[in-house]
Amino acid sequence: MPSDDKRWKIVDATARRHGREPHALIETLHTVQESFGYLDETALRFVAATLRVPLSRVYGAATFYHFFTLKPQGKHTCVVCTGTACYIKGAPALLGAIERQYGIKPGQTTPDGELSVVTARCLGSCGLAPAAVMDGTVLGKIGPADMLARIQKGMHP
Amino acid sequence: MTIEELRKIAQSEREAQNKFPHHVCVCMAAGCQSSGAAEVRDALLKEVAESGMRNEVQVKGVGCMGLCSAGPLVAVESEGKMYANVTADEAPEIIRNLDTGGDGLKELSAEDPFFKRQQKIVLENSGVIDPERIEDYIAHEGYFALVHAITELTPLEVIQQILKSGLRGRGGAGYPTGLKWSTVAKTGEQKKYVVCNADEGDPGAFMDRAVLESDPHRVLEGMAIGAYAVGAQKGYVYVRAEYPLAVKNLKTAIRQAERLGLLGNDIAGSGFSFHVDIRLGAGAFVCGEETALMASIEGKRGTPRPRPPYPAQEGLWGCPTLINNVETFANVAPILRHGPEWFAASGTEKSKGTKVFALAGQVTNTGLIEVPMGITLREIIHEIGGGIPEGRKFKAVQTGGPSGGCIPDEHLDSPVDYESLARVGSIMGSGGMIVMDETSCMVDVAKYFTDFCRSESCGKCVPCRAGTEQMYGLLEKITAGKGSEADLTMLQELCDLIRNTSLCGLGQCSPNGVLTTLRYFRKEYEAHIAGEPCGTCRPEKEAEL
């Protein structure tokens, strides 16, 4: 294991549960991301060695799937849904407001590492469009001003 | 587990529930949870405890009740009442006035077209049972179809019933389910798989999520019946990682079914064994395509491959694989329970049964609906959906997600079935239905879907990878007011090329959004070319600059 960080054991347990077979790749990457928040080179190398698959395949899968991120996220994350219902009900305005306020676009993190903004394909909360998620709390039928207030509140409670 | 034992469980569960004169159900599906349903449930429980009504009122967390826009929803089942937008502060009022509901609560009428025009098969238990308790499912006739099938029917008889019902794949393409099952059953291989496609990637669609969250056992039962019919031993549910609640409920359901011997080895003493595992998707739209989905289960990048061979012949790890959508599997148990004739009695000549739609966008009632096939789009939008809010005018309805098209007012009287929707240039798709009013710019909508397709293209075949990129470039030019007539011609040609030469459904259907808007809303394209201001793409102020 790369270090004595206990989280590696959790990752290893997932691989073991699937008999360390190559088909456990995506499940194992999910566990890494759940435990560490993102996938770094150490993690990719560890998964490759554990499942005995080429590093290129691990990297290939990690970059193919949108759910995986190779960069650490900010302390707080705001997810803006850009599904069709949210889009026609004003998701672009939400993203515009965040960009004006914090200077970051989807996929970026503020330089101080405090806030990341990402977009979701669809949260499936279309009945509540437009929707955003601030640190796990779903904000439904939200406007730009309210959303900025909630982000501010989430970062400085 | 025999039918007798199943009956006993159902009986004791019903008796336990009937001890309570009052049943209060709180919708705990994702939509209502986002609006604060958990707090409402806690407030209800607290009030029941404090007023000493523990033996009179049962407070139950249930699955999706449908009308997401009015959540959190609370139903007093015994009185046949339903309340909308309930807050934690108002909740105690419901307990205090079980029969009248008290003041200040917004009551929904069961006579409202939103409820009255629906017909529920797939969603019959949704919003009624506690999805986290298998006993509640069994008390609603759950797992009887499975035990009946494996102890009293031959696999061939099961397939014949499905064939006779006329059930077609609910993932969008509409392939006859019975035919698919019999193809897999006929292969001589020993090792076969069953896969449930729950990778609901269409933006604006949440039917499968609602079914998995609200009634997960129904999907497992359908999969097990399918496995028995085709001779498979192992099943996978491929579900989006973005649906944590659905994954959680599904995991609980699998554990419970295994505990009761309804999944696992030697089910009901018949010698038939079936194990189910969950595989998490990782946010790739293309994985909804069956060959890409199977590549993903095998731990690879989710890229499609040419068919044939179809998964029914060569699927997971080269073995014959039955792959159906969540809603398709959810229809199986009711068909066996009530008979194929009962199922075939609803719907149209070629499209039988019902279809679940996720109704969203610029429409008054947004949420989850289940309607008989053959209902018109107009009835769905203007009666069930309650029309367009704030007196604005309807413009288009988008069905089938990024692979579907936009249908204008003149075609609203088309019946909802696979063939009719294809005739007007769209597809049934998995069931997303997004309503747009006069404030939406259709060129912008086409650009939105093209942007989606270009970023979700897996990159394997050129027409899709490069073609969607070129389409997007042209649309950007047009929306910026820099387009020309020639660009429209080129756009049209590009659409034909991508449609006819792409490898998989994602690519082949990606031009639908552009094609339908070009067909029905060409004037809007022309207005953009003429440099007229557009509220969405080029607001007047910006256009002048």
Instruction: Indicate the length of chain A as a whole number.
Output: 157
| pLDDT reported for residue B34 | 85
Task: Please indicate, yes or no, whether residues B158 and B298 belong to a single structural domain of this protein.
Answer: yes
Collect all residues with Cβ–Cβ distance below 8 Å to A72 and sequence separation of at least 6.
A37, A38, A40, A109, A113
Q: What does the alpha-carbon distance between residue B72 and residue B87 come to, in Å, rounded to a whole number?
A: 7
| pLDDT reported for residue B137 | 98
Task: Please indicate, yes or no, whether residues B201 and B313 belong to a single structural domain of this protein.
Answer: yes
Write down the mean pLDDT value for chain B.
94
Chain A neighbors of B201, CB-CB under 8 A: 121-122
B-interface mutation test, from A84, A139, A141, most B Cβ less than 10 A away: A84
Task: Please indicate, yes or no, whether residues B165 and B310 belong to a single structural domain of this protein.
Answer: yes
Size of interface A-B (CB pairs under 8 A): 138
At B516, is the pLDDT very low, low, confident or very high (cuts 50, 70, 90)?
very high
What is the bridge-based pairing of β-strands B193-198 and B74-76? Answer: unpaired
Contact A64 B30 (CB under 8 A): no
- Is pLDDT above 50 for B543? no
Mean pLDDT on A74-85:
93
Domain count, chain B: 4
The one-letter amino acid at A20: R
Q: Which of B383, B388, B426, B432 is nearest to B407 (CA)?
A: B426
Q: What does the alpha-carbon distance between residue B8 and residue B458 come to, in Å, rounded to a whole number?
A: 51
At B545, is the pLDDT very low, low, confident or very high (cuts 50, 70, 90)?
very low
In a domain, B304, yes or no: yes
| pLDDT reported for residue B251 | 97
Task: Please indicate, yes or no, whether residues B511 and B465 belong to a single structural domain of this protein.
Answer: yes
Chain B neighbors of A120, CB-CB under 8 A: 242
- Is pLDDT above 60 for A3? yes
Quick one: closest CA in B to A139, which residue?
B34
Quick one: closest CA in B to A23, which residue?
B299
Quick one: closest CA in A to B365, which residue?
A127
Task: Please indicate, yes or no, whether residues B194 and B337 belong to a single structural domain of this protein.
Answer: yes
Whether the Cβ atoms of residue B498 and residue B464 lie closer than 8 Å to each other: yes
At B544, is the pLDDT very low, low, confident or very high (cuts 50, 70, 90)?
very low
The minimum CA-CA distance between A83 and chain B, rounded to whole Å, is 4
- Is pLDDT above 80 for B93? yes
In a domain, B299, yes or no: yes
Tell me which residue range forms the domain holding B232: 141-344
Chain A neighbors of B206, CB-CB under 8 A: 122, 124-126
Task: Please indicate, yes or no, whether residues B321 and B407 belong to a single structural domain of this protein.
Answer: no
The pTM of this model reads 0.95
Q: Please, how many CA atoms are within 13 Å of residue B526, restricted to the half-sphere of its CB?
A: 6
Name the strand (E) or helix (H) holding B387.
none
**A39 at B interface, C-beta within 8 A:** no
The minimum CA-CA distance between B346 and chain A, rounded to whole Å, is 27
Quick one: closest CA in B to A64, which residue?
B301
Contact B203 A57 (CB under 8 A): no
B-interface mutation test, from A47, A95, A121, A141, most B Cβ less than 10 A away: A121
DSSP secondary structure string, A94-129? HHHHHHHHH---TTEE-TTS-EEEEEES--S-GGG-
- And the tokens for B199? 């990778």
Task: Please indicate, yes or no, whether residues B160 and B239 belong to a single structural domain of this protein.
Answer: yes
- Is pLDDT above 60 for B481? yes
Task: Please indicate, yes or no, whether residues B433 and B446 belong to a single structural domain of this protein.
Answer: no
In a domain, B290, yes or no: yes
Q: What is the 3-state secondary structure (H, E, C) of B332-343?
A: HHHHHHHCHHHH
**A126 at B interface, C-beta within 8 A:** yes
Q: Which of residues 45-84 of A touch B (CB under 8 A)?
A: 51, 53, 57, 60-61, 64-68, 82-84
Q: Which of A26, A61, A125 sits opposite B31 (nearest CB)?
A: A125
Mean pLDDT on B142-157:
97
Contact B33 A85 (CB under 8 A): no
Task: Please indicate, yes or no, whether residues B384 and B454 belong to a single structural domain of this protein.
Answer: no
In a domain, B462, yes or no: yes
Percentage of chain B with pLDDT > 90?
Answer: 88
Mean pLDDT on B246-260:
97
**A30 at B interface, C-beta within 8 A:** yes
- Is pLDDT above 70 for B108? yes
Mean pLDDT on A61-69:
95
In a domain, B120, yes or no: no
**A26 at B interface, C-beta within 8 A:** yes
In a domain, B544, yes or no: no
Q: Which of A30, A127, A128 sits opposite B280 (nearest CB)?
A: A30
The minimum CA-CA distance between B301 and chain A, rounded to whole Å, is 5
Q: Which of A65, A85, A131 sits opposite B284 (nearest CB)?
A: A65
Q: What does the alpha-carbon distance between residue B380 and residue B60 come to, in Å, rounded to a whole number?
A: 30
Whether the Cβ atoms of residue B97 and residue B367 lie closer than 8 Å to each other: no
The minimum CA-CA distance between A82 and chain B, rounded to whole Å, is 8
Percentage of chain B with pLDDT > 70?
Answer: 99
Q: Which of B203, B283, B297 sits opposite A67 (nearest CB)?
A: B283
Q: Per-residue pLDDT tens for A116-139? A: 999 988 887 888 899 999 998 888
| pLDDT reported for residue B536 | 87
| pLDDT reported for residue A122 | 84
Domain A76-155, CATH number (from 3.40.50.150, 3.30.40.10, 3.40.30.10, 3.40.50.1970): 3.40.30.10
The minimum CA-CA distance between B484 and chain A, rounded to whole Å, is 26
| Domain CATH number, residue B420 | 3.10.20.600
Task: Please indicate, yes or no, whether residues B363 and B411 belong to a single structural domain of this protein.
Answer: yes
| pLDDT reported for residue B101 | 66
Q: Per-residue pLDDT tens for A87-113? A: 999 999 999 999 999 999 999 999 999
- Is pLDDT above 80 for B540? no
Contact B440 A88 (CB under 8 A): yes
Quick one: closest CA in B to A69, which residue?
B282
In a domain, B131, yes or no: no
Q: Per-residue pLDDT tens for B353-398? A: 999 999 999 999 999 999 999 999 999 999 999 999 999 999 999 9
Mean pLDDT on B116-137:
96
- Is pLDDT above 80 for B541? no
Task: Please indicate, yes or no, whether residues B276 and B360 belong to a single structural domain of this protein.
Answer: no
Quick one: closest CA in B to A54, which residue?
B300
Task: Please indicate, yes or no, whether residues B459 and B512 belong to a single structural domain of this protein.
Answer: yes
Q: Per-residue pLDDT tens for B388-437? A: 999 999 999 999 989 999 999 999 999 999 999 999 999 998 899 999 99
In a domain, B122, yes or no: no
Contact B440 A29 (CB under 8 A): no
Matching residue, tokens 């797939």: B122
- Is pLDDT above 90 for B343? yes
| pLDDT reported for residue B503 | 96
- What ipTM is given for this predicted complex? 0.92
Chain A neighbors of B296, CB-CB under 8 A: 26
Contact A85 B300 (CB under 8 A): no
Chain A neighbors of B282, CB-CB under 8 A: 26, 29-30, 65-68
